Chain A
């Protein structure tokens, strides 16, 4: 889902950088409002490492193979730290492995980072104070609710990333290529992204359940 160099016109690259700059500024402002902004940096740094490596590990799903993006998990666990963390992870992927590109770093951060922030807000709904219907949940119900939200965060973030990616690519098709063939290939790849979204959702549920059992304070 990384857009390589030279696939979008310069105006789109610049717009991507502008949006990324704005969202990074907003995220950093939210982070600096915390009581101890440095407290979550180790957590953010370790998840950035996982994000950085995840794109190199291929999971074969016929006819092709996918790699986990983990942006939903990053959003759910890191909150506003997720956006700068994803931007940094993408920079290293582009610089070391040409996965994505430096000119498209901004647009890639938008594709993967903004869904992460939305996943964060979705996952926050597990807080009883934010529930739409404020009736009391039993512990069992609360656990199930957390799992549903974790799945929604993981699968939703990836699905949204796939949609933004598809829209950016389709609206910027180079006139030189056969647009119909390319569009069909993209629509076909959406099926793959759908499977990947379910996988990411399941993985997010597993990880969140594990953390909740072992070290619940990480989710605070």
Chain B
């Protein structure tokens, strides 16, 4: 019996400490909606560039990286540009010597809810356009071949 009384203050202390701990765990979560930029990097055959290095350069200092990261397994990377720095944000994606640089215009007008999208130059073509361009190029080479292999007029 005596022993149990002796234990009481200890119990009180632990309880106090415990409640204090709970207080310390109280957290505060705020949220606000903002606009982010999603990068999706893929090789020209369509396979995503997974785990590629991403470097973001802010418009006010294009020489030093503003943010570094890597793409996920689907070649995607999301970042939130600083709204106070309007201008063209440069994003470099590279892996094993392959990669590209994309230029993202970001400014006050983007603060509205419109969503802009763009891509590095080569992804802008549809497969059909690519085939036509390749065919035109090949025809140029074939034409050159035909020109130089024509029969010389006999005179």
Q: Tell me if A42 counts as interface (CB < 8 A to partner B).
A: yes
Chain B residue contacts of A177, Cβ below 8 A: 53, 55, 68, 92, 94
Q: How many residues of A contact B (CB 8 A)?
A: 37
Q: Tell me if B87 counts as interface (CB < 8 A to partner A).
A: no
Chain B residue contacts of A165, Cβ below 8 A: 97
Q: Tell me if A34 counts as interface (CB < 8 A to partner B).
A: no
CB of A170 to closest CB in B, whole Å: 8
Could you tell me the distance between the alpha carbons of A188 and B95 in the complex, rounded to whole angstroms?
11
Chain B residue contacts of A181, Cβ below 8 A: 53, 70
Q: How many residues of B contact A (CB 8 A)?
A: 35
Q: Tell me if B31 counts as interface (CB < 8 A to partner A).
A: no
Q: Is the CB of B137 within 8 A of A98?
A: no
Q: Is the CB of B121 within 8 A of A98?
A: yes
Contact of B94 among A46, A56, A65, A182 (CB under 8 A): A182
Write the chain B residue with the least CB distance to A183: B96
Could you tell me the distance between the alpha carbons of A166 and B98 in the complex, rounded to whole angstroms?
11
CB of B66 to closest CB in A, whole Å: 10
Q: A162-201 CB contact bits vs B (8 Å, 1 = yes)? A: 0001100100000011100110011011000000000000
Q: Tell me if A45 counts as interface (CB < 8 A to partner B).
A: yes
Q: Is the CB of A97 within 8 A of B122?
A: yes
Q: Tell me if B78 counts as interface (CB < 8 A to partner A).
A: no
Chain B residue contacts of A45, Cβ below 8 A: 141-142, 144-145, 148
Q: Tell me if A118 counts as interface (CB < 8 A to partner B).
A: no
Q: Tell me if A126 counts as interface (CB < 8 A to partner B).
A: no
- Chain A, range 1-49, C-beta contacts under 8 Å to B: 3-7, 38, 41-43, 45-46, 48-49
Q: Is the CB of A182 within 8 A of B137?
A: no
Could you tell me the distance between the alpha carbons of A53 and B99 in the complex, rounded to whole angstroms?
21
CB of A79 to closest CB in B, whole Å: 16
Chain A residue contacts of B96, Cβ below 8 A: 182, 185-186, 188-189
Q: Tell me if B47 counts as interface (CB < 8 A to partner A).
A: yes
Q: Tell me if B134 counts as interface (CB < 8 A to partner A).
A: yes
- Chain A, range 49-91, C-beta contacts under 8 Å to B: 49, 52-53, 56, 58, 60, 64-65
CB of A118 to closest CB in B, whole Å: 22
Write the chain A residue with the least CB distance to B141: A49
Q: Is the CB of A178 within 8 A of B97?
A: no
Q: A81-121 CB contact bits vs B (8 Å, 1 = yes)? A: 00000000000100011110000000000000000000000
Q: Is the CB of B122 within 8 A of A98?
A: yes
Q: Is the CB of B138 within 8 A of A49?
A: yes
Known: A45-B142, A52-B137. A3 touches B97 (CB 8 A): yes
Could you tell me the distance between the alpha carbons of A43 and B144 in the complex, rounded to whole angstroms?
10
27 A-B residue pairings within 8 Å (CB atoms): A4-B101, A7-B99, A38-B148, A41-B148, A45-B141, A45-B144, A49-B138, A49-B145, A52-B134, A53-B138, A56-B130, A58-B44, A64-B43, A64-B47, A65-B45, A65-B47, A92-B137, A96-B137, A97-B125, A166-B97, A176-B64, A176-B92, A177-B55, A177-B94, A178-B53, A185-B95, A189-B96
| New A-B pairs, 8, CB < 8 Å, besides A45-B141, A177-B92 | A5-B101, A49-B141, A65-B43, A97-B130, A98-B120, A177-B53, A182-B94, A189-B96
* A residues neighboring B (CB under 8 Å): 3-7, 38, 41-43, 45-46, 48-49, 52-53, 56, 58, 60, 64-65, 92, 96-99, 165-166, 169, 176-178, 181-182, 185-186, 188-189
Return the 4 tightest CB-CB contacts between A and B, nearest first.
A49-B141, A98-B122, A42-B145, A169-B97
